[in-house]
Amino acid sequence: MILTAYGKFIEGTVKVAAKTILGKKKKPKNKPWFDEECELWFERRGKARLDSFSNSSNEAGETYRSVEKQTRAIYRRKKREFKKTRSQ
């Protein structure tokens, strides 16, 4: 029992030291098709969403829905192009 507690202590110490020295491992991108254009539309959608929250007019809601629709279309197109080039 003492050995188990001591082992866990050492394990925790090693993990903390490794994280401090090596840093946190970055995850690989899950969406290789997600490029600068997608990033731009992602940011536009976020701004439109925040605007629709702060300004509860119908116009702000319509703008958000329009930007959301365009963003989804861009994502679908990029995915389709990526799959097409990968399969060839």
57: DSSP letter: S
CA distances from 62 to 14, 42, 44, 50 (A): 53, 17, 14, 13
Instruction: Report the number of distinct structural domains present in the chain.
Output: 1
What integer pLDDT is reported at residue 75 of this predicted model? 95
66's tokens: 């329009």
Q: Which residues of the chain have pLDDT under 50?
A: none
What integer pLDDT is reported at residue 3 of this predicted model? 64
C-beta atoms surrounding 34 within 10 Å: 15
Structural contact between residues 13 and 39, judged by C-beta atoms closer than 8 angstroms: no
What integer pLDDT is reported at residue 2 of this predicted model? 62
**Boundaries of domain holding 32:** 2-87
What integer pLDDT is reported at residue 25 of this predicted model? 74
81's tokens: 């192009």
